[in-house]
């Protein structure tokens, strides 16, 4: 049984000719019955895990960088959107997103839900970014359900 921990998004910017030269990618964090933390990128349905949420996120960003690099190398970069995550994950992402309101400074402004509260993650591991010449991958914002609330 999945327990969703929160959501986040990051950006990719390409200096090479692509159908989508810049886009955001979306992540959903969960804790599963085995006690591990999982991070899933919805655009490519990439899943990684870690002992902590921060570790799962850091592993996912490395995975994204590897995934992009490999697809550039083997000239399949325009196919990377062919395998998006199941719509149930997108629904869950949107459900969590609807519970938070973000002002123009990208700060959590209000809570719409009295049960679940959200915190902005400031852990440096969440700010990991890759820049390997043709592509920049960076985490932008992460909102976690504050389990202590």
Partner 1 sequence: MCYINSVSYDYLINEIFTKYKINYCIEKARFADASKLYVCSSDKLKIRPVANSFNDIHSPIPQIYIKDLFNKLSNYQDYKHLPFNDIFNKINWTAYK
Asked if residues 83 and 24 have their Cβ atoms less than 8 Å apart, the reply is no
If one asks whether residue 138 binds partner 1 (CB under 8 A), the answer comes out as no
Structural tokens at position 16: 């090479």
Q: From the CB of 30, what's the least distance to partner 1, in Å?
A: 10
If one asks whether residue 16 binds partner 1 (CB under 8 A), the answer comes out as no
The neighbour count for residue 82, using CB atoms within 10 Å, is: 9
If one asks whether residue 4 binds partner 1 (CB under 8 A), the answer comes out as no
Q: From the CB of 128, what's the least distance to partner 1, in Å?
A: 10
Task: Assign 3-state DSSP to the chain and report helix, strand, coil percentages, each to 5.
Answer: 30, 40, 35
From 27, 42, 46, 139, residue interacting with partner 1 (rule: CB under 8 A)? 46
Task: Provide the 3-class DSSP secondary structure of residue 85.
Answer: coil
- DSSP-derived letter for residue 84 is P
Residues in the site for partner 1, rule: CB under 8 A? 32-36, 38, 45-51, 59, 62-63, 65-67, 69-70, 74, 76, 83, 130, 132
């Amino acid at each position: 049984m999945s327990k969703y921990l929160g959501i986040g998004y990051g950006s990719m910017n390409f200096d090479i000719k692509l159908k989508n030269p810049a886009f955001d990618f979306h992540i959903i964090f969960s804790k599963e019955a085995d006690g591990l933390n999982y991070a899933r990128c919805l655009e490519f349905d990439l899943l990684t895990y870690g002992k902590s949420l921060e570790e799962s996120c850091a592993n996912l960003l490395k995975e994204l960088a590897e995934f992009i690099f490999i697809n550039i190398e083997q000239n399949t970069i325009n196919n990377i959107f062919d395998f998006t995550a199941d719509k149930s994950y997108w629904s869950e992402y949107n459900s969590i997103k609807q519970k938070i309101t973000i002002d123009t400074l990208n700060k959590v402004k209000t809570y719409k839900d009295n049960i679940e509260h959200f915190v902005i993650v400031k852990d440096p591991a969440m700010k990991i970014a890759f820049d390997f010449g043709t592509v920049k991958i960076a985490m932008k914002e992460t909102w976690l359900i504050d389990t202590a609330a």
